[in-house]
Chain A
């Protein structure tokens, strides 16, 4: 009994160490986020940086996020059809697809894809700037690295992710519709009608809230790990990996929390 307990305790400690290692010290991360948020609201602002980041995060993520949604929507419709057919409920395909996509898969898969693209790129860029002393140089050139580098990335990610996820949702539903009408014999007009009936504004809103939260975590993790990287090329590599893995974990965790809060009651 005690043996089992100590094994369990050891496992917990090991897991805790991994998680703390990923997020850096919690205190340092909290301070970083606090500094970023407090500087973000006060000038000077850097609109050119913000615009560039919105382009990098939003526009250039469109193809990969769109394709992911399209394929996943189709696959989802196919599975619901197979599963539903067992209970004579194959007609639920449009309703369940739209709910599944808008509530969960659109934001989560979109978030994960953007995290893979963007958190890593941010960590690599800021990490390289850190180890080559470019971040130090900013401060002697009358520029606050938080306002110039971190704030535009966070604001851009929070603004752009909801739009990206909206597109992702639309393409996901379209994927389901394509497969259902082309392969499963659904009537196109009827499919779209049912979809529209089951699509609730609340679902869309929750989807966009999730997207904004994910965007915040993606940029925060990319910037945090890049900003605090050290130890040359290997250090930048580590920062990149940690940024992506910790962004993934935070996306999945915050998704669960939001889902439970919004839909659990």
Chain B
């Protein structure tokens, strides 16, 4: 079976700073892949490279076997239209009311788009009462959920979530985990999720991969993350300050 998304030896640097140093990753159709890894290791850069928002210097990225690096114009727009993306910062259009944000990629009469927006709000645990507010009138966690509703509203075949549960309370985080799991299992969507939240990773992942210093240093099925036998994965999964991953700190 060909991979839905495959990255081979992808490299990206900003000036002298190497961020992606030969990333290899393969995601099967209708699979939920979770990427874990420390802050600043290049997870967001990797996901934006697949979307064509950032151009890697070298390497290959294929979707359904078709090379997508170097796409331009119409071909790039068609490529990007296949994805739904939850940006880490939400990236809601602050000049538009919530319902117009959510229904942005939908077509049809305004009444239908508004109804679709309210349906999607309900899926992320928000009521119709927020539909006419502006993004700045919502709390951080509410904005995140609206951004999630916007990402899934147009029913894309591939969904990317950049930290979907950050800033949510544990109960709401679990509602979102269930939603992502449903999208993958029931609708056959391919999902790529970045998270620091191990409870969330355990719930939504089929496969887990860990990014460290610009490379995927471990990947495997969810069940194996506790028995990976990889000291980096072990330290991250258990959240220990001691271990091979050193934080750049000055002692007090």
Report the separation of the CA atoms of residues A182 and B77 in the bound assembly, to the nearest whole angstrom: 63
**Min C-beta distance of A128 to chain B, whole Å:** 8
Closest Cβ of chain B: how far from A135's Cβ, in Å? 9
On whether the beta carbons of B91 and A136 are closer than 8 Å, the reply is yes
Collect the chain A residues with CB atoms within 8 Å of residue B80's CB.
Answer: 139-140, 142
Q: Which residues of A contact B91 (CB under 8 A)?
A: 132-134, 136-137
Query: Which residues of the other chain, A, contact B87 by a CB distance below 8 angstroms?
Result: 133, 136-137
| A140: contacting residue among B83, B92, B94, B95, CB under 8 A | B83
Q: Does B53 contact A (CB under 8 A)?
A: yes
The verdict on A41 contacting chain B, using a C-beta distance below 8 Å, is no
User: In the assembly, what is the distance between CA of A6 and CA of B220, in Å?
Assistant: 65
Q: How far does the Cβ of A95 sit from chain B's closest Cβ, in whole Å? A: 48
Which applies to chain B's interface (DSSP): helix, strand, loop or mixed?
loop
Q: Which residue of A lies closest to B153 (CB)?
A: A141
Q: How far is the CA of A140 from the CA of B157 in the complex (A)?
A: 12
CA distance A253 to B89 in the complex (A): 41
Chain B residue at minimum C-beta to C-beta distance from A147: B77
Residue B51 interfacial (CB < 8 Å):
yes
> How far, in whole Å, are A254 and B83 apart by their CA atoms in the complex?
44
Cα-based distance from A125 to B83 in the complex (angstroms): 26
Decide if the interface of chain A is mainly helix, strand, loop or mixed: helix
Question: B43 an interface residue at 8 Å Cβ cutoff?
Answer: no
Q: Select which of A132, A139, A142 is within 8 A of B89 by beta carbon.
A: A132
Chain B residues in 8 Å Cβ range of A125 = 95
Chain B contacts with A in 24-75, Cβ cutoff 8 A: 48, 51-53
Query: Is B23 on the interface with A (CB-CB < 8 A)?
Result: no
In angstroms, Cα B91 to Cα A137, docked, is 6
Q: How far is the CB of B86 from chain A (nearest CB, A)?
A: 10
Whether B51 pairs with A140 at a CB distance below 8 angstroms is yes
CA distance A144 to B77 in the complex (A): 7
Does B18 lie at the interface of the complex (its beta carbon under 8 Å from any beta carbon of A)? no
Question: Chain A's nearest CB lies how many Å from the CB of B101?
Answer: 9
A129 to B83, CA, bound (A): 20
Are B104 and A141 within 8 A (Cβ)?
yes
Known: A136-B91, A141-B154. 13 other contacts (CB 8 A): A132-B91, A134-B91, A136-B51, A137-B85, A137-B87, A137-B91, A137-B92, A137-B93, A139-B52, A141-B150, A142-B81, A142-B105, A144-B77
User: Which residues of B come within 8 Å of A, CB atoms?
Assistant: 48, 51-53, 77, 80-81, 83-85, 87, 89, 91-95, 104-105, 150-151, 154
Q: List 28 A-B contacts (CB under 8 A).
A: A125-B95, A132-B89, A132-B91, A132-B94, A133-B89, A134-B91, A134-B92, A134-B93, A134-B94, A136-B48, A136-B91, A137-B91, A137-B92, A139-B52, A139-B53, A139-B77, A139-B80, A140-B51, A140-B80, A140-B85, A140-B151, A141-B104, A141-B105, A141-B150, A141-B154, A142-B154, A143-B104, A143-B105
